[in-house]
Chains A and B, each alone.
Chain A
Amino acid sequence: MNYFLRRILQLIGTLFVVSLITFAAFYIIPGDPARVILGPEATEAQVEALREELGLNRSMLQTFSDWLTGTLRGDLGESLIFRQPVTDLVAQKIPVTLTIAAMSIFMTIIAAFPLGIAAARKPGKFADQLISVIGHFFLAFPPIVLALVITLLLGLTFKLFIAGEYVSYTDSISGFIASLFFPSIAVAIPKIAVFQKFIRTSIIAERSKDYVRTAKSHGLSNMMVMIRHILPNSLVPIITVLSIVASEILGGVLVVEMVFNIPGISRLLIFGIENRDYPLTAGIVLYLAVMTVIVYFVADILHSLVDPRIRLK
């Protein structure tokens, strides 16, 4: 239990620094939200009055401590421009973003494992070379370019989907999933290339160990050795890489959402940045950081389940 306690404390420390960076960053951004709201016509006195009302004249430390105590109670404050609670605004958009991320992670896992295992079967032979060449090509495919290629090729040329169409999850769950299918693929493809390569390397490294030879000499089939011995033992590094991949996927979704014109969190984020709406932006950044930290945390827990030795370190 000591191990988990230590991990949770570390987690809280990280999140505190994360929110401090976010907040400090947005507090020193030049520009005046009050001026943005009132427009260039407003007089200096009006702007000053609104600044006072929005609490923009207080010191940064004061604002941060207020924001922090609010955040600890689950209240991220109110958006300066929308005049709505940030949590409400985020709650409308975040399901879309998280669905794309979850679908991409799922696609990455189900595609990368078979590919990695197939490539590792006979290193250097045809299947391995083929997967390696294609993998290298997609590994370095910028997500925006991939998203545009998918729109152009699959959407506009082969008419597999209607470019720019989005079905809200309040209308139809299946339509919602379907409309997010191609965006998720655009995010997932480069990550499949990274992940399968890593799985291949880990399996090859694990297979050269003595216990694998022993297992085979006991008469276990290759299949059984792979499922019972090699895969479980190579899971620790694989989970680590998967957690990094998952965090990159979340970043990739932010860009791809814009390419496919999906009303997810990224448009709200850009809006917040452009209009100096720092409670909104800080709230979104914190949300996404918490998501990433949770992913790492889950990976840590899985590690200690897969390999109990880790808890003792």
Chain B
Amino acid sequence: MQRIIRFRNHSIFLILGGVFVGIVLFCALISIIYLPDDPMATNSMTKLAAPSADHLFGCDHEGRDVLSRVILGSRPTVIISLLGILIALLLGMLLGSAAGYFGGAPDHFLMLISDSIMAFPGILLALVFVAVIGKGLPGLIFGLGIVFAPSYARIFRTGIRQLKDREYILLARLIGVKPPRILFVHLFPGLVPQLAPAIVVGIANMAMAEAGLSYLGQGVQIPQPSLGNMLMEGQSYLVYAPWIIIFPSIYLLFYVLGMYFLSEGVRMKFKTGGV
């Protein structure tokens, strides 16, 4: 009984984060089967219309329903941030494990590459990669995935270097366990406390980067809505129709803030320190 009543700090973060992220995820999912209005249909009658019963979030400069656009626009944010992190994680796992497990020359080479990538401000390199791979979902997912990979490579490398000389690993090698099995069964589980919060924060940062790229016109292309390009389009109407940017802002904030809260909760649960 006492355990239930006692104030559990990390569960507050997990619940709050879960609710915030849940709202955005729910919208992204629901957009597949239902939208309150056609998000692409322009209508000269409802140009810059204020929020009302017909259009809960109001209408934008082309008379499009902001609610529908926000719901549809949260889809690229969710897809890109989740798949992008998956790519970053896979790349980071591959490079970081190779560097950490083998050491020596491969380690030096891979770390030089990763240092070089980290020497750029993230958004700058993302701009370059997206320009190469192409604007639109695949370009954003792979471009951001490559940019975010080095930080995961680092976690894998450091963790594996710390763990690989432990006795249980030496014994596993001694009885002839193959390196892939050692990595997946014996080493990676030990990295979860560092990885889990880093992954969740990465999702948030990637959502912000995607919004930034779309805002700069280098991400999701108009008229396809995304939270970032809605901010770009709506900015000129800030004075007359602030709702055009307020609602996408709130959605983006929910997603990012929610992910940060989740990561804080996860971190407290695993009791790992750090920023």
Contact = CB atoms under 8 A, between A and B. Distances in A.
A251 B253 contact: no
Chain A interface size, as a band, is 35 or more
A1 B235 CA distance: 53
B123 A255 contact: yes
Contacts, number: 130
Interface in B47-85: none
A13 B112 contact: yes
Contacts of B235: 148, 259
Contact of A140 (B121, B218, B245, B260): B260
A75 to B, nearest CB: 22
Interface string B224-237: 00001001000100
B120 to A, nearest CB: 5
A105 B209 CA distance: 20
B120 A140 contact: no
A151 B242 CA distance: 11
B231 to A, nearest CB: 6
Contacts of A255: 123, 212, 215-216
B119 A142 contact: no
Nearest to A290: B119
Interface of A: 13-15, 17-18, 21-22, 25-26, 28-30, 136-137, 139-145, 148-149, 151-152, 156, 163, 194, 197-198, 201, 205, 241, 247-248, 250-252, 254-255, 258-259, 266, 269-270, 273-274, 281, 285, 288-289, 292-293, 296
29 contacts: A14-B112, A15-B119, A18-B116, A18-B119, A18-B120, A21-B117, A26-B128, A29-B131, A139-B260, A140-B257, A140-B261, A142-B256, A144-B211, A144-B212, A145-B253, A152-B238, A152-B242, A194-B275, A201-B275, A248-B121, A251-B121, A251-B123, A252-B123, A254-B124, A273-B128, A273-B131, A288-B124, A292-B120, A296-B119
